[in-house]
Structure 1
């Protein structure tokens, strides 16, 4: 059985580019109609971005996915000043003061701000883009696998909730099917009485009267809607069991279920018996359950 995947998930992994330089790569996924990849990478990583897009498109089908790569320089740097440079600046200051008959001593704060005075003994050499690409690509597969694992867990929870919704819709359809016989008989009698009132004084056979009433009562029956509801529920649950890319298929079935529930409510709106009112309550519950299911389906890949 294939798994069903949510479009919601997060994964992060850390690695090393060079001595003293690490990286953090994260994937954050939320709902979207299509696969929408947003890259936040250091400058110069165009080739890496192309590789990441290719790998993600092979593994994911839908979702807004943010890919973030951060470089972390882990080596502690210590600053040192260049004694020769400082001495040269001091000597130049004093000579300039002497030549211009000025008094005063060099200001150390000003000298230490001069170019070339400070250096870092822990400064990293410039990283090349291919170094970053090689290091990151080694960790991408397990990162995507981690994201898919989280999306699979979320997907399993969604499938369980959706299956519960379908079980309830099936139970509602069964109850309506039990109630509809009494409602149809009541509706038939009401129509027959109304036709008789409207045709009073007009010559019309009892057989014709009963036939017209039966036809109108038949049009108000919800048997076909119940059959279609249960068919859609069976199809829906079958897709849940099969797994895979479900979002768009299930959304279409929920539109069909909503259409049938609307028709059911429309046909039974005039039934004022206890059973008729109960069918109206059940029809409204159908709408609520279907809407809840639609919210959940929006999260599925």
Structure 2
């Protein structure tokens, strides 16, 4: 079991310099990955995204890749003259359409900053993109560090959820003990009222049993308790699988809450309703923790 939140990093020294990768993730229902790369590594962005997807099923993930060159490789500025001429021609077209010269002249600095017009390139053949094996080695190390933190946090979440499941099971035990007593108490209550009302007249035992049977059928919560216990076992089973189970656990918690609500609506005794309140409190704790599970 892994938490969705985590952090991992790796630093690798290569022939061209130092490469550092950071991975951060926070809770999110679906998978979303944003990668920030130096311009020279944009061609391997999809490969990095696919590698992240193999290890992270859901969450909002940010990946930062930084390089620090050690080799003083010569650089050159490449200017796209054809595109620059089109910008200049566009300014002239605007001025002719307006019938006046623009207040500010063409800003050459602004045009050169434009990444499509002016690009700084290394003059030599020494490029980081040629160090793809080193880059993915650093990525693997960062993912391992990232997953270690997520697994550790996942263990803490698992312990907390196990405690909530145990408490929820205890509530089920108490309700199972109380449910038959409630029916017996109802029988005694009906007999007492009938005797007080009829005085010396003998109570019709068959009619009394029919009334009690109707009440018992209406207040029967045995099926709900069976399903609730089944959901608890299913939840425990998912907790020990290696797959991403966050969504499955979220669904199971919803079913637990539905069964608890049904028990509460059927219960007429305050003692059972108090146990239902306790149940819903533990289920709510499970729901909050499940939001952190991958």
TM-score of the aligned structures, taking structure 1 as reference length:
0.71
Task: Name the SS for the 2:22 alignment partner.
Answer: strand
Q: Give the structure 2 partner of residue 153 of structure 1.
A: 152
Which stretches in structure 2 are left out of the alignment for 5+ residues? 73-121, 198-202
Residue 216 of structure 1 deviates from its aligned partner by 2.5
Residues 36 and 194 from structure 1, CA distance in 2 versus in 1: closer, same or farther, beyond 3 angstroms? farther
Q: In structure 2, what is the equivalent of residue 259 of structure 1?
A: 258
Distance 1:192 1:264, change over 3 A: farther
SS of the residue corresponding to residue 23 of structure 2 reads strand
Q: 1:190 to 1:45 in 2, by over 3 A?
A: farther
Q: CA deviation at 1:196?
A: 10
Q: Is the 8 A contact 1:236 1:250 kept in 2?
A: yes
Q: Once the 2 structures are TM-superposed, how far is the Cα of residue 221 of structure 1 from its aligned partner?
A: 2.5
Larger radius of gyration: 1
Separation in structure 2 between the aligned mates of residue 215 and residue 197 of structure 1, nearest angstrom: 22
Bigger drift between 157-166 and 66-75 goes to: 66-75
Give, in whole Å, the separation in 1 of the partners of 2:187 and 2:254. Answer: 31
Residue 67 of structure 1: which of 63, 66, 76 is its match? 63
In 2, Cα distance between the equivalents of 1:235 and 1:173? 16
- CA-to-partner distance for each residue in 1:71-118, whole Å, 9 max, x for gaps? 335689xxxxxxxxxxxxxxxxxxxxxxxxxxxxxxxxxxxxxxxxxx
Deviation at 1:219, TM superposition (A): 1.2
Q: CA deviation at 1:231?
A: 1.6
* TM-score, length basis structure 2: 0.72
Give the distance between the partners of 1:61 and 1:287, measured in 2 at CA.
Answer: 29
Cα drift, residue 218 of structure 1: 2.0
Q: Aligned pair in 2 of structure 1 residues 195, 33: CA closer, same or farther (>3 Å)?
A: farther
Give the superposed CA RMSD: 2.9
Q: 2:293 aligns with which of 293, 297, 300?
A: 300
Specify whether residues 290 and 195 from structure 1 end up closer, same or farther in structure 2 by C-alpha distance, changes over 3 A only: farther
Cα distance in 2 for partners of 1:24, 1:250 equals 36
> What is the number of residues matched between the two proteins?
240
What residue number does 2:54 align with? 58
Match of 2:12 in 1: 15
Farther-moved stretch of structure 1 (186-195 vs 237-246): 186-195
Distance 2:64 2:34 in 1: 9
Task: Determine the structure 1 residue equivalent to 2:183.
Answer: 184
Counterpart residue number, 1:130: 129
User: In structure 2, what is the Cα distance between the partners aligned to 1:125 and 1:156?
Assistant: 51
SS at match of 2:39: coil
Q: Deviations over 1:254-285 (max 9, x none)?
A: 111101111111112x32xxxxx232221101
Give unpaired runs (5+ residues) of structure 1: 77-123, 199-203, 272-276
